[in-house]
Chain A
């Protein structure tokens, strides 16, 4: 698998405090990489290191297979769009004038600018001063400014911050469209719900350390959901299970935790052999948030 971004033992320390510690990021090409973690977990610092805005204390960064250094920085940044901290956009200028700043700064064509504006669907608002934009429009303009250079990699730091649900959904759709178009997107958030269903790769950061990195499916697998057994008499079913099973009655069902597929098959066979009637055996539906809470020990990150 080719990685657009990979880091080896990346760390950033301020004095004795490690803000990012021994991070080994792997971002595959063409994915939406959800970079999750609470405020202060080191997401923005990591993203700034990827963009060479701050220097790592130790470790290495490779972007497009090339080491990010002072020498390669200028060239690599030409293929990286980003939105860090808050959306850029000069309030005294209109959206179109802001895009002209980008166009002149990066020597882009009219076509590239038009394409970026179309992508974020901001065409009708371009003659309005940015100070009169809503937050969602500012975010979209910021993304258009990042997209104008037609980047291979887009790094977005909490792009949904402060947006209402409609705005969040709009950004989600935009990220999906970009990934479909072949752009690798790295997007950070401290809210799971904003990333859930958009990202196909996830990295979970806590206290500067990576807790999990992999596909969404792998994350669900890493945290086994409970097995829920619907039976006519849950008390009887519970009594048939040996004391080693972590099972408890949950309404009209029995909930068994910590069983993998083999364990689940064994348990069901045991109950059937014991003459118990099982109406239904299913895995509990869990959101990414449940998994996240489980993984981080109750969400105390």
Chain B
């Protein structure tokens, strides 16, 4: 992929409020996590303080990410539909599949930054306001990396959806359904959570209530790795298909 095409793609993102939306993702996840921790009795208990924050962030991401990622992808792709951009790109030697890959490249880092920022802000809150001693570093880093992978997979999926379906309301509607699925997947059997990318938000969760007790667990790393590999293959295959599709 040429740097010039990437530079052109970055020029297009001007006034799309991409930064504002990624900031909104970070703020919403942080705010929701802090709000849920602050109202949870577990947060004031020294042994459950970090668990409460991890449970909160594990719920905040599936609540905030799917719709915001759908909006983010839709705004990046809809400009091509509105401006005859696909044909212009093709006649400027950038195929439709390559354009989708560029959009993931320009939007992905912002989503990554928002995810990591939210994680760091919640961590900072835990260190400042919590009473649980040292944070569970391994789980925290593991969760952050896993949820980052899921966010990027969902973003990639929405870029493809927005490119394929001109009516952007469809993508946004799928984002809403994704939110519901992501939130309620934790109450479903793990096999069902594996079916859609949104279900993986529950599989990466490292703290959850079992009965009345808040338990820590390792994220489903193998499942997430499989999802990431499958998504990378799928994204490459679909964008290659776009490359060969006639205008």
Contacts and interface: CB of A to CB of B under 8 A. Distances in A.
A and B held together in a complex = yes
Interface of A: 48, 51, 53-55, 74, 77-78, 80, 82, 84-93, 97, 100-102, 104-107, 130, 145
Interface string B81-112: 01111011111111000000000000000000
Nearest to A106: B92
B84 A105 contact: no
A146 to B, nearest CB: 8
Interface string B1-31: 0001101100110111000000000000000
B247 A105 contact: no
A74 B4 contact: no
A145 B4 CA distance: 16
Nearest to B79: A90
B246 interface: yes
Given A90-B83, A105-B8, A145 B88 contact: yes
A48 B86 CA distance: 13
B92 A105 contact: yes
A105 B94 contact: yes
Interface of B: 4-5, 7-8, 11-12, 14-16, 79, 82-85, 87-94, 246-247
Contacts, number: 74
A101 B8 contact: yes
Contact of B14 (A80, A93, A102): A93
Contacts of B92: 77, 102, 105-106
Contacts of A84: 84, 87, 91, 247
Contact of B8 (A82, A85, A104): A104
B84 A97 contact: no
A145 B8 CA distance: 13
B91 A53 contact: yes
Contact of B7 (A74, A85, A104): A104
A256 B7 CA distance: 67
B8 A93 contact: no
A41 B239 CA distance: 31
A47 to B, nearest CB: 10
A257 to B, nearest CB: 45
Given A53-B246, A77-B93, 18 more contacts: A53-B247, A84-B87, A84-B91, A87-B84, A88-B88, A90-B79, A90-B85, A93-B11, A93-B12, A100-B11, A101-B8, A102-B8, A102-B92, A104-B8, A105-B5, A105-B89, A107-B4, A145-B88
A48 B246 CA distance: 9
Contacts of A101: 8, 11-12
The winner among A80, A89, A93, A105 for most chain B CB atoms within 10 A is A105
B85 A106 contact: no
Contacts of A86: 84
Contacts of A105: 4-5, 8, 89, 92, 94
A263 to B, nearest CB: 50
Nearest to B247: A53
